[in-house]
Amino acid sequence: MSPIVDLIEVRKSFGAVEVLKGVTFSVAPGSVAAIIGQSGSGKSTALRCMDGLEQVQGGELWVCGHKLHEPRFDKRALRRDVGIVFQSYNLFPHLTVEQNVTLALRLVKGQRGGEATDVAGAMLDKVGLGEKRGSYPEQLSGGQQQRVAIARSLAMQPKLMLFDEVTSALDPKLTGEVLRVMEQLAADGMTMVLVTHEMQFARNVANTVVYMRDGRVHEIGGPEILVRPNTPELADFVAHEY
């Protein structure tokens, strides 16, 4: 089975600073890949490249069959296949929860009326927020807002979900709410790539762990590398993150 995500010697620079220095790894359909590493290691940049938010400058990057290393790839088609959730919820404060979820359905998929609201309701139920569809973002906790952001992405029925440090701004209780939703997505077979500092979550849920350091993949393997690292650098990182 072909990978749903395939990075081959991917390079990316911002000015004179090379952030990705030949990154190579792949993600199989239906699996979960956790990218870990210190701040500045390039992990979030790698994730943003997978969503087409950053253009790669070298190597090859295939996502859901799209050639993101080509300068004129179809971004609209990519948006239909890939959902991304950030640390900041990016909800529109003047729209209700339901309206936030249906917006992309209407603009990107052209869904109208009851069709869009039915999908939104089902996705909000999936993240445990069906009763909040008429609420506004300011009336929700941070964890609830993040779950709305996940529902908004799920409503597009993506083939791949990307998560960029989605719990880093939340307290432990709210973090647990969001991680439980992500665990259920993994159990349902959703392909996910996540940048995270939640080592226990990565150990329990990820099929592949990618440890990045200084813009490169320093170590890669199954979740067992979080227990038995093969390099002293990963051992030191894990010791400080647990």
Quote the mean pLDDT of the chain. 93
Enclosing domain of residue 26: 5-241
Average pLDDT of span 145-172: 92
pLDDT score of 44: 95
Which of 35-44, 72-81, 123-132, 187-196 is predicted with the least confidence, judged by mean pLDDT? 72-81
Q: Which of residues 71 and 100 earns the better pLDDT score? A: 100
**Got the DSSP string for 7-21?**
EEEEEEEETTEEEEE
Is the model's pLDDT at 71 over the cut of 70?
yes
In CATH, what number is assigned to the domain containing residue 154? Answer: 3.40.50.300
Reported as a single tens digit per residue, the pLDDT across 19-68 is 999 999 999 999 999 999 999 999 999 999 999 999 999 999 999 999 99
∠167-97-116 over CA atoms, to 5°? 115
Closest CA to 51 of 197, 216, 208, 162: 162
- Percentage of the chain beyond pLDDT 90 is 81
Q: How confident is the model at residue 240 (pLDDT cuts 50, 70, 90)?
A: confident
Find tokens 């259920």 and name the residue: 184
Rounded to whole angstroms, the Cα distance separating 31 from 13 reads: 29
Helix/strand/coil for 224: helix
Q: Where are the beta strands (DSSP E) in 103-148?
A: none
Is the model's pLDDT at 190 over the cut of 90?
yes
Domain count, the chain: 1
**Got the DSSP string for 165-196?**
STTTTS-HHHHHHHHHHHHHHHHTT-EEEEE-
pLDDT score of 108: 73
Which of 147-156, 163-172, 212-221 is predicted with the least confidence, judged by mean pLDDT? 163-172
Is the model's pLDDT at 164 over the cut of 80?
yes
Is the model's pLDDT at 109 over the cut of 90?
no
Please provide residue 27's backbone torsions phi and psi, each rounded to the nearest 5 degrees. Answer: -130, 125
Q: How confident is the model at residue 130 (pLDDT cuts 50, 70, 90)?
A: very high
Q: How many residues does the chain have?
A: 242
Is the model's pLDDT at 242 over the cut of 80?
no
